[in-house]
Amino acid sequence: MAPRNAYATRLPVDDQRDHLMVQVAKLYFDMDRTQAQIAADLGLTRWQVARLLSEAREEGIVRIEITPRAGRRTGLELALQQRFALHEAVVVPMGASPDPALRLEAVAQAAANHLAALSPRPALVGLSWGRTMSAVARALPAGWAPGAHFVLVNGSITLHATSARNAAVAEEFAQSAGGSASLLPVPAILGRAATRLALEDDPVVARVLALAREAPVACFGMGGMGAGSAFVTSGYLTEAEIARLRDLGAVGDILGRFVDAQGRIVDADLDARTIGLPLSALQAKAHRIGITTGPDKYAIAAAALRAGLLTALVTDEATARTLLDAPEPGARQDTA
């Protein structure tokens, strides 16, 4: 007789398996998707979808509402998915004023669980760099995607030496997965647009950028506009330049591209000197997983959602509530 879960060895275990059951249950019970549609979206068979739904009921994950054993705010997740047309949202419950380091670690762990539960497992993944992505790399389980290839999608060489290994993200992802990595060993921002064009024309750099474009999955953090911006600490921009970008309407950066509240580039000259995927290439990808947490990231997360740059969002409870409560830019405010 076959074991109760004949395909269990092919599915993620523990938190990752719970994540997949929650994802299927939300699509079926709250988003009114058919089992056939869910199977097509997630790369499963209809039998696997039916079995996951059955197990979710048997194990108490589905009752009157979806209640994953790992802490999740599924009501907020569903609201984000419906409002911003996301394929998936993962919201980590946190206190009103948690320690920023603890909040980052919690969101990074949730993002790692989400990545490890992707089905089918991606063979090629594009990555940004920075503190958020470095935290995700540390949280990934060993052997989660054997043979997968990871490629940096924007320039990563830092100009200032720091104790952090924020630019070593692709290597750390590859090491945890049991895969390989392609690096983009060039500056993130150059002094002249002509230099950027020359570097991108180099066969070695061009090959990495071609891989970055081909990757069907992109996973990235989002940068705020404070003095702690990775582009300030890495030596690319000064605090005065950040202030100038803020005056131009910038609310943060995505892949090093500084954008306004609607996700539009604010400084064409700076953008022309930035090496990496343009936002148009990011938007063409099937899976665009944004990871963000903290008050300094509220505005850039909202901009990414408004611009349609995300298919999935991993964040904390306070950020999710802020995104859902915020009016559209320019919307009339009642003063009565």
Residue 287: its pLDDT value, please?
95
State how far the Cα of 237 lies from the Cα of 230, in Å rounded to an integer: 9
Q: How many helices (H) and strands (E) in the chain?
A: 15, 9
Measured N-to-C along each axis, helices 35-42 and 14-25 cross at an angle, to the nearest 10 degrees, of 140
**Close Cβ partners of 270 (under 8 Å, ≥ 6 residues apart):** 189, 245, 258
Residue 164: its pLDDT value, please?
53
Reading phi first (left if > 0) and then psi (alpha if -120 to 50, else beta), residue 12 is in beta
Is the entire prediction scored with pTM above 0.85?
no
Phi, psi values for residue 149, rounded to 5°? -115, 135
Provide the residue ranges of all domains of the chain, joining segments of one domain with +.
8-58, 74-325
Residues in the chain, pLDDT under 50: 1-12, 64, 163, 332-336
Question: What six digits make up the tokens of 185?
Answer: 């060993």
Residue 55: its pLDDT value, please?
87
Residue listed under structure tokens 């964040």: 315
Q: How many CA atoms lie within 13 A of 94 on its CB side?
A: 25
State how far the Cα of 263 lies from the Cα of 251, in Å rounded to an integer: 9
Amino acid identity of residue 154, one-letter, is N
Residue 96: its pLDDT value, please?
56
- H/E stretch holding 65: none
Q: How many CA atoms lie within 13 A of 324 on its CB side?
A: 19
Name the architecture of domain 8-58.
Answer: Orthogonal Bundle (1.10)
Sheet with 312-316: list strands edge to edge. 88-92, 312-316, 287-291, 217-221, 124-127, 149-152, 180-182
Question: What six digits make up the tokens of 227?
Answer: 């003095």
- H/E stretch holding 216: none
Fold of 74-325: Rossmann fold (3.40.50)
User: In whole angstroms, what separates CA 87 from the centre of its chain?
Assistant: 12
Residue 14: its pLDDT value, please?
62
* pLDDT one-digit tens code per residue, 127-166: 999 899 999 999 999 999 999 999 999 987 776 655 456 5
